[in-house]
A and B are shown apart, each in its own frame.
Chain A
Amino acid sequence: MIQLRTVVVLILALVFMPAWGAKDYRLKPVEIAPGTYVLLGEKAHFNFRNGGNIVNTGFIVTDAGVVVIDSGPSRFYGEQLRQAIGKITEKPILKLFNTHLHPDHILGNQAFEDIPIAALAGTIDAIRDQGESFNDNMYRLVGPWMAGTRVVVPTETVQPGVLEIGGHRLQLIEMHGHSHADLVILDQTTGVLFAADVVFHGRTPTTPHADVARWLKALNKLSKLDFKILVPGHGDVVADARPVVQTQDYLQWLMSSLIVAAEQGMTMAEVLQLDAPPSITQLAVFPEEYQRSVVHLFPEIEAKVLGRGRVVQE
């Protein structure tokens, strides 16, 4: 029966092996412009299979060294991003930018602790305040992929304006709306716009810290920038402004639906059941993100609507 036991052990080993050791995100940098690379994430939700890799990160290889934009959802991701950069260039990594506070963009920071990590002032404060709770929640959502991850707060405050690095002119733009501080980076040398989560493409936008009215203004401003290639925070890279329009359309639909529902006297649980047109429902993970957005946005809209009613109190 030795053979049987061996076989059982082998099978168990095969079944449980993925739970052991470092997780592999199989990151593949894609060159979208000279020296400019993007690592595309899944258009999905955080889960135990994708390990939180639902985000686009990127890097620019300049003459002086490498500039990295966002570090991914975990320590493993950050480390593997760094290895992926090392396979493309031997140049040193000069700087990491965190575009905004959300966990999928910042929890790989640990792998870049030896270099300056730059973010907008509002982002730095928010990561300091909320980073740990993001980290806890990510463990719940993607499990072992988060092993050994801790929050590393950015060390350098970004001043909006133009930054010249190794022959690239990077325009650093502060926007507001998706979160209270969104860093958008336009590489004027190549025409690549790293739009961060101000723009989603083919995936439903997320709203946990959104101010939708400001977000729509930001999109308007962003559409006027002179770019050739658009890198959204989530979804495919394109050479036009379609994702900007798509994000605008979604946010407008979302807000007008919620306002109309509130004005009709619908209760929040009823609003969760609303129908949407195909142009909206075709976006990846729409049902889940819509339900989340109702919880984020409806209470404030509802309070305004109820506040206009006639109430007499002693």
Chain B
Amino acid sequence: MGGSASEINRQAWRGWFVIVLLTLALQTGAVETIEDRYRIIGENQHQESIVLGSLTMFDSEKGRSYRIEWDEEQFDNHFLSMRPFKCLPHPVQLICHLPYPYQIQRRISDQDLTDLEYDLLFLHKTPEEYGINAWNGLYFKFRPTENGFVGELRETDLNVLQAPPEEGDLRPINANALYEPSDKHWLRRIIIEKVEPDPLNSSMWEDMRLTLLDGAQVVFDDRVRVLAPDDAEDSMNVPVLVDASALGDVSRILVFAELNPIHKVLEMEPLHAKPLVGFRIKVQQATPIRAAVQTQDGQWHVGGRIVEAAGGGCTLPSLGSENSDWASRMGEVIGRLWSNQDSTRLRLRIMHPMDTGLVPGIPAFYVNRLEFLDPTGETLTRLFLHEPVSENPVITLDLPKGDSVTVVGTDNNGNPVEARIMAGLKEAEI
């Protein structure tokens, strides 16, 4: 600490400078780098896959580089031959990751993926075998694919790694000593595939993809239109319209609210109807409302938006259940048909409490299945509703042209819903 005024001044200025920098860093969210996220997937002989971890690709001074994060839950910890190993469990063969122990640059290009291969070395052993042997090496030979990389299984002797390579030798494994693998190894392939960044940046998205879509690859697609308000004025009645007409032939629509205690909202098999459905839902808090739409080729297309909300929609009792005469009107249907250019719009309301089961003392009680039939009895479209659909569901569908539609359905207690809706207005009202 110098005592002179100029010294103090300089120190103070340095302090200011640091603060300005800190403020800037906070505002810009640190240094910007372009990062791509990938999933690391292991695949067995039967093309069954597990997610082993994630890989982040980024540009470094030296070129394309990456870092790997393993999903610890998939591995068991073992202590073998005086060293800790992380092994993929299996009844007849453990496959243990061998972290590359020497200098590695982690620099890759489409022509040279060796560093990546060195980071994905494994050793195999039977569960009974004592210790682990370096000659039981598994090497995945990688090549670029459309949306990432794929590594095919090879066998090799990794004894070469028992001693450090010569100074500056970054490739000690003999690339000519990779052999066709025996059929007994269950891990056949490692797939590294690019993860589409979630446009809504939701912390729950990956969970939803794994649990509701069985881990399928998706594309985020503007052709899946999800209309809803920015803010849920009434958390028990948030209007939603999902319209995937722009996608053409759709086999399935799945709607979910990621931050609701019950995620699934509604499923639709469009069949002869347009892939469009309007309804209202309960939300427990601000949440992404998402529609995953599967086209005939099996591909999932995902659209969605975030709805802000004060909350409480799922854990508030339905108005009906607080009212003693709801039972007498349960299942009552009002509805109407509108003839549009190439379709007939059906709008209907079914009286039903649609209780979520999350209110103490009120069990889950909701319409769970609706089928829409034409006058010949052919199914036009099918809906499967879940607890978050609002009380007295109001449903909108665009069906093939016609002047009569029958709706047949049930609730989760087996009570039937049945009504026929016809074109035109009630006589008395005309």
Contact = CB atoms under 8 A, between A and B. Distances in A.
A210 to B, nearest CB: 13
B338 A313 contact: no
A269 B394 CA distance: 12
A147 interface: no
Interface stretch (B7-15, B162-170, B185-193, B198-206): B7-15
Contact of B335 (A4, A137, A295, A306): A306
A312 B422 contact: yes
Interface stretch (B56-64, B208-216, B231-239): B231-239
A265 interface: yes
Given A302-B394, A303-B334, A303-B349, A309 B426 contact: yes
Interface string B401-430: 000000000000000001111111110010
Contacts of B241: 267-270
A310 B18 contact: no
Given A269-B278, A270-B278, A302-B394, A308 B233 contact: no
Contact of A269 (B227, B336, B345, B419): B227
B334 A269 contact: no
Contacts of A279: none
Contacts of B429: 308
A256 interface: no
Interface in B226-282: 227-231, 233-234, 237, 239-241, 278, 280
Chain B, interface residues (CB within 8 Å), range? 35 or more
Contact of B348 (A268, A294, A306): A306
A39 B40 CA distance: 63
Given A11-B19, A308-B336, A268 B239 contact: yes
Interface string A270-314: 111100000000000000100110111001001101111111111
Contacts, number: 124
Interface in A81-114: none
B313 to A, nearest CB: 12
A310 B12 contact: no
B336 A268 contact: no
Contact of A292 (B14, B233, B349, B420): B233
Contact of B310 (A140, A270, A299, A312): A140
Nearest to B10: A3
Contacts of B234: 295-296
Contact of A309 (B237, B334, B396): B334
A7 interface: yes
Contacts of B98: none
Interface in B304-356: 310, 332-338, 340, 345, 347-349
B164 to A, nearest CB: 44
B218 to A, nearest CB: 23
A302 B8 CA distance: 73
B135 interface: no
Nearest to A307: B334
Contact of B426 (A11, A288, A310): A310
A265 B426 CA distance: 16
Contact of B425 (A1, A310, A312): A310
A269 B243 CA distance: 11
A273 B227 contact: yes
A296 B237 CA distance: 10
Contacts of B421: 309-311
A23 B338 CA distance: 55
A269 B422 contact: no
Contact of A314 (B240, B338, B418): B418
B323 to A, nearest CB: 16
Nearest to B277: A267
B336 A309 contact: yes
Given A3-B12, A11-B19, A295-B237, A267 B333 contact: no
Interface string B163-197: 00000000000000000000000000000000000
B230 A291 contact: yes
Contacts of B8: 3
Contacts of A288: 230-231
B14 A310 contact: no
A146 to B, nearest CB: 14
A54 B333 CA distance: 43
Contacts of A268: 239, 241, 278, 280, 394
A157 B332 CA distance: 42
Given A295-B239, A303-B349, A310-B424, A269 B12 contact: no
Interface of B: 1, 8, 11-12, 14-16, 18-19, 227-231, 233-234, 237, 239-241, 278, 280, 310, 332-338, 340, 345, 347-349, 394, 396, 418-426, 429
17 contacts: A8-B19, A265-B347, A270-B241, A272-B228, A288-B231, A295-B237, A295-B239, A302-B347, A306-B334, A307-B334, A309-B334, A309-B335, A309-B425, A311-B333, A311-B419, A312-B422, A313-B419
5 tightest CB-CB pairs across the interface, nearest first? A309-B336, A267-B278, A268-B239, A265-B338, A269-B241
Interface of A: 1-4, 7-8, 11, 137, 140, 208, 264-265, 267-273, 288, 291-292, 294-296, 299, 302-303, 305-314
